Amino acid sequence: MRVFFLWRMESQPARCGRLPAGESQRATKKTLPRALRPAPRRGVAARNEEDPYPARCGRLPAGESQRATKKEHPMKKPFAPETIAAQAGGAIDAATGAIIPPIHLATTFERDPDNQYSKGYAYSRPDNPLTRQIEEVLCALEGGARAMVYGSGMAAATSAFLALERPAHVVAPSVMYWGLKKWLAEDAPSLGIRTTFVDGTSLDAIARAIEPGVTRMIWVETPANPMWGITDVRAAADLAHNAGAVLAVDSTVATPVLTQPIALGADVVMHSATKYLNGHSDVLAGALVLARTDAYADRAARIRGMLGAIIGPMEASLLLRGMRTLHLRVRHQSASALEIARHFARHPRIEAVLYPGLASDPGHAIAARQMTGGFSGMLSIRVKGGEEAAVRTAANVKLWKRATSLGGVESLVEHRASVEGPGTPCPADLLRLSVGLEAPVDLIADLEQALVANA
C-alpha cells in the first residue's frame, strides 16, 4: 500500500495587540525540504487573473497564514491515504489554531509595497487557499504531481480535452458518461478535436482506432457508466504511450480508494467530484490529477483560470469536508453493492446484474487486479419484461430515490435509457443503482417489493 507523509501546520500563539505571526512563522530552509518551501518574499512574480498557475503537489496548500514555523517539523511517521483524507492533509490554521480551514471569500488580495504578491494570491479566479488544500490532498491520494479542482465534473473533463494540441484525434469508449460523450460528438469537432468511439473493454478495438502521429489522447472510463465495463488501465497506457499519446482515466466511480490509475501508467485522472469525493449530493465539483508538471498541465491550468472554471470557496469547503469520510463511505458502499449484486444475480425477475465484483462478470479478472478493497458502489440490473417493467420497478420503490447522479450517502435508482435518449447504448430494461449508506437488507427488501408490485 502506498503511504504518504503529513506535515502539521501550527503557529506560535497570538500576542495581544499584534499580528499572530511574524518572521518566525515563515518557513526557513532548515524547516522544510526544497519542494515544500513557500515562495520568497521578494522578487516573486505576481500571479494575477491573466497569468494563473495551479497548485503543484508538494507545495503547502495555503498562503501566509499556513506557513510552517521554526518550531515545526515534518512528522516522521508515514501515513495511509485514509489518514491523509480524514485530516484533509493535516493543515492547521496558523492564525487561530483551527483544525478546520477557514473559507476565504475574498475575490482580490492586497499587493506588497514593492508591487509583489508574496503571500501567493492575487485574484480568486485562478486560485484560492482552500482550493490548494484540496489539490494537495488529491495529489497525495492519487500519487500525482499536480492537481486542479474545477466547478463541475464537465468543466474538468472538457478542460482535459481542450488542453490537447490541435488538431487532435481522441479515442474514447462508446459506453461512458453520456454528457461528456455528447460534448465530444457534437461540440468538440468545431474546436479541432475529433473522436473515434470504440468498445472500451477491448484493447484490440482501442489499438485499431489509434491514428499514428494524430491521436493525442486515449480516454477510458473504468468502471464505465452505466454498464460498468472494465478497461485494463496498464495495457491501455502502453497503447497510448507507444503511439505518442496520453492516457486519461475517468476514475469517478473507482475513486482513489479503489484504484490509483497513475500508478498503472495513466497520465491524467479525472473525477466528477460531485459524486464520491464529495459524497453528500450538495456540491458540483470536478478535478484533474496529472502525473507530471509539463506543458499539457500548464495549458489545463490556463484554461481553468481564463474560463473561470475554478470551484467557489463555499463549495470547496463542502468538498473538503466530504473527502474526509471518503474511505469509510466507499468501502461501505462497495460492500453493500456486492451484497445486493449477489442477491439479485439469480433472481427470477432479473434478466442480468451488471457488476464487476461478481465472478461471472466479463471484467471481473481485470477489475480484481487493478481495484483494491472493493468494486465500487455502482451496479445495474436488467429487469425482465423490458422497458415498461423497468420503469414500473423504479416507480414502485419507497426507500431508493428516483434521481440522477451517483456516489451520495442516499441510494438512487434511475432508468438510464430515458435520460440518455435516442442513440444511447444503454439497454431499455436497465436500472442504474447507486448504493448509499443505508443497510443493504433494507435496500434489498425495497427492490424486492418493487419487483413484486410489477407482477
104-155 residue pLDDT tens:
999 999 999 999 988 888 888 988 999 999 999 999 999 999 999 999 999 9
User: Does the annotation mark 250 as catalytic?
Assistant: yes
**Amino acid in position 35:** A
Range of the domain at 258: 129-323
> Residue 415 forms beta bridges with which residues?
431
Measured CA to CA, the distance from residue 281 to residue 340 in angstroms comes to 22
Residue 36 pLDDT class (50, 70, 90 cuts): very low
Residue 166 corresponds to which cell in the numbers above?
490541435
CATH number at residue 251: 3.40.640.10
Query: What would the pLDDT profile of 115-127 be if each residue is shown by its tens digit?
Result: 998 888 888 898 8
Q: From the candidates 117, 121, 123, 177, which is the catalytic residue?
A: 177
User: Does the annotation mark 119 as catalytic?
Assistant: no
Total structural domains within the chain: 2
Query: What would the pLDDT profile of 275-288 be if each residue is shown by its tens digit?
Result: 999 999 999 999 99
User: Does the annotation mark 77 as catalytic?
Assistant: no
The structure's pTM equals: 0.84
Select from 290, 323, 356 the last residue of a domain: 323
Select from 260, 288, 323 the last residue of a domain: 323
Measured CA to CA, the distance from residue 348 to residue 350 in angstroms comes to 6
> Residue 350 forms beta bridges with which residues?
383
What is the average pLDDT value for the chain, to the nearest integer? 87
Pair (359, 388) in one structural domain: yes
- Please, are residues 290 and 270 in contact by the beta-carbon 8 Å criterion? no
- Please, are residues 279 and 411 in contact by the beta-carbon 8 Å criterion? no
432 within a domain of the structure (yes/no): yes
**Amino acid in position 30:** K
Pair (293, 168) in one structural domain: yes
Backbone angles phi, psi at 331, to 5 degrees: -65, -40
Q: From the candidates 125, 324, 349, 382, which is the catalytic residue?
A: 125
Q: From the candidates 47, 216, 275, 416, which is the catalytic residue?
A: 275
User: Does the annotation mark 355 as catalytic?
Assistant: no
Q: From the candidates 250, 361, 429, 446, which is the catalytic residue?
A: 250
Query: What would the pLDDT profile of 53-81 be if each residue is shown by its tens digit?
Result: 444 454 433 333 333 333 333 334 579 99
Pair (150, 285) in one structural domain: yes
